[in-house]
Every structure is written in structure tokens, then in C-alpha cells.
Amino acid sequence: MKQVNQFKDKKVLVLGLAKSGLAAAKLLKKLGAVVIVNDGKPLEENEAAKELKAEGIDVVCGSHPVELLDKGIELVVKNPGIQYANPIVSKAVLDGIPVITEVELAGFISEAPFIGITGTNGKTTTTTLINEMLKEDGKGTVLAGNIGEVASEVVQQAKPDDHVVIELSSFQLMGVQDFRPHIAIITNIYDAHLDYHSSREEYVGSKMKITQNQTEDDFLIINADQESLYSMAGSSHAQVIPFSAKQVVENGAYLDEGTVYFQEEAIMKAADIVLPGSHNLENILAAIAAVKLTGVSNEAIQSVLTSFTGVRHRTQFVREWNGRKFYNDSKATNTLATKSALTAFNSPIVLLAGGLDRGNGFDDLIPYLDAVKAVVAFGETANKWKDAAEKAGIDVFEKAEYMTDAVQMAVDLSESGDVVLLSPACASWDQYKTFEERGDIFIDCVNTL
């Protein structure tokens, strides 16, 4: 860990705890800052706050009093989930007090270079692939961010010849000031999180912050198949490395006549890749570009791509049973993600879908339901799914109360050669605490068949 002095004796407010706030507060104290922690959860229910208080850190819990800024605060480190409309955050911005997230702290102290991955979809798969390929080649790697441990915590042990592979959300990137990844990846950009960001322009701008501090010694890997996104690469000072699943691109990663290439070097046959779906091919190309820039061998890439079957809850292959293949895509909490999953298979599909009703219907999925032979729906949106199935000409529809019922119904409606796909297109909160819980229950049901 680099020894830095810019935080010594500086008054810093850590706003919001959870894992990132806890790690940030501890690190700032270690760096000599005068730390105040503020969290909305009452102290008696707040184990993280109790832990920090026991270490001598000033803790204010139960509300977010704006008056905390009157204590000479020089920097705010906020939890990524706290919106900029929060009174403390908005007043800090108005008063000219810098507001960052803990990722920025990680950038200051890390001795290892960063490979940063952002985008609307595909971040987790791309991040996981890069990490696996680096490990397979024997290179040091530290997994951080949304997919791994808190960045400002794990980079303290990172060595100069390691790579910090970090998944970055728009929430984290919006607070970037000096953070600079050596390799940055933008997988794609679609409309998302507009309940957090004030506009699409703000959302896109936060994603582009991943490259704002890069120099000509760095690399920006970007999706050439999204013309509007690719055009933004011109604002970056980094070397631009395109990837494309649809066209040959100069100086990048691409698919041509069934073979995956990087900068005109054949890497492997696409048919040997076990991870299904055209959307995953884009993630794979982005990952290949990143690891080839670090010197990873083709053999290591091939080894990972001929064995990697998917990230848990993201078009994850669970098992084959009586000729049926079961896939867990519980992370598909919107229609865009379910579209990607539906286009990943050529076999007949029995689709398990439904969940929290956010007021939207599923008509935009109808063109993608051609391969679906039956729908088993659950949760608040079950009737909306019935309507979509009827419009799509799907004659077989069942309504399930619990996941155990849904899986058994899918088994009864399917036959050898079919795919049974959980891809809900809805959040899980009407029945489950998280999409992970929903997916885990699906896996358990499948594994007990």
C-alpha cells in the first residue's frame, strides 16, 4: 500500500456505512484523517457503527443532520447508494466540498494497476472472465468492487505486479475525481438507473468518467457495435481498443468466420466456447482484449473459455436432467436482460418469469419469445406475463405460487432437448429479499429433481 499524506489531519465525513463505508472509515483513520461517520441506521441496530465507535471514531447515527458539515468538513466519502439529492451531499456540493466514493481512496493507495469494468450489462461476467484468465496464466490478481471485496480494503495487500480487477457502477464512478485505471472497459450503455440519475446524459456521463483521467499510456476497451457509445471514445486520451461481435475491427478483438481474433491474431474457435449467448460473446471479446494487453497467453484464455459456464445467477448453467438443460438467470431483473438470455438459446425454452410489479408490461419481449413453448409465471406480475404469452401466441401458460411449484411445472411441460430458463425480467422483492435468494432456491429445486 502506498503511503500518502493528503488525508493527514483532514476532516473527513464518511456518509453511509455498509461494507464500503466501514472500510473507508478505517482506512482514513489509518491515513491520519480526522473521521466522522454518519449513518441513517440507529446505533443500537448498527454493528458497523458500534465497531467504529469502539475504535475511537466519532459516529453519528439515526439521521443525516446537515449541521455535520459545519464541523469544518473538508471531504465527504459517501456510500455509492446515497443519492446526490441527499441534503448533506447536495449542500456539500453547493459549498464546494469534494464528494467522492471509496473507490477513489483505493486509487490513491494501490500499488497495483487497475483494470476497471463498467457498462449497463455484462460487467460481472466480463470482470469474472478477466480475473479467471489472469489466474489461469499465473498472474497476480485482486478482485474488487461490486463483484469482489471492498476496493479500498483489498488493495492494501496488492503488490505492484498484481492487477486489481474491479467492477464499477455508475454510482461509484459519479464520484470519481482522480481515479485512473490502466485498462478501462465499457461493455455497453442502455437506459438504466434513471431513478438515481437525473437524466440519461448524467448516467452516460458517469460511465464515461472511467476514462476521464486516462493518458496515452492507458487503454480504453469499448463496444464498437454501439455506434453512439463508440463515438464517445474520441473524448478519451487513452489508446482506444474496440471489440465487436459483428464486424472486423482494427486493433481490437472481433469474431470473423467463426474464429475469435485479437489484433489479427487467431485466439480460438468460437464453437469451442461453452458460455452461451451473443451478449456473452461481447463480454468474452472485451475480456480477451484486456488480458491480451497484460500478456496473457492464448492457452490460458482457451482453458477458461472451454470450461467457464457462467457467473452465478447470470445465465448460469445449473445441470442437465433427463435431457433438459436448466439455466439460472435470476439476475435478469429487467426486460433488457431477459432479451439477452432468450437470444442465447436455439432449443425450445420453458421460461420461468415474474416478480415485483413496477408498472411495466412485457410487450417489448414478445418478438423474443419465438423459441418459448411454455411460460410458468409467479409473483405480482404473473397476470401480465399471461397477457404477454397470449399476445405472443404461446398456448401453454401456468401460474405458480412458489419456486418449487414453478420448477416442477417446468419439468412437466418440458421434454428432452429443451431448455428450462429462469429469467424473471422483474425484481425479486415481492417474494424474496434478493435476486440471489431467488436464484439459489431455483438451483436447490433443480438439484433435488
Which residues make Cβ contacts (< 8 Å) with residue 6, sequence separation at least 6?
Answer: 108
Alpha-carbon span 361 to 363, nearest angstrom? 6
Alpha-carbon span 343 to 68, nearest angstrom? 51
Question: What DSSP line would sit under 19-46, residue for residue?
Answer: HHHHHHHHHHHHTT-EEEEEESS-GGG-
Alpha-carbon span 26 to 22, nearest angstrom? 6
All cell numbers assigned to 376:
410458468
Is 122 annotated in a binding site? The answer is yes
Span between the terminal Cα atoms of the chain, in Å:
49
Element (H, E) at 350: strand 349-354
Alpha-carbon span 254 to 252, nearest angstrom? 7
Secondary structure letter of residue 413 according to DSSP: H
User: Cell 473524448, residue?
Assistant: 235
Task: Specify the length of the chain in residues.
Answer: 449
Is 119 annotated in a binding site? The answer is yes
Cβ atoms of residues 324 and 411 within 8 Å: yes
Alpha-carbon span 276 to 233, nearest angstrom? 28
Is 120 annotated in a binding site? The answer is yes
Where does residue 61 fall: left (phi above 0), alpha (psi -120 to 50 degrees), or beta otherwise? beta
Is 333 annotated in a binding site? The answer is no
Burial class (CB in 10 A: 0-12, 13-18, 19+), 379: buried
Is 62 annotated in a binding site? The answer is no
All cell numbers assigned to 189:
450503455
User: Cell 447515527, residue?
Assistant: 61
Residues of the binding site for ATP: 119-125
Residues of the binding site: 119-125
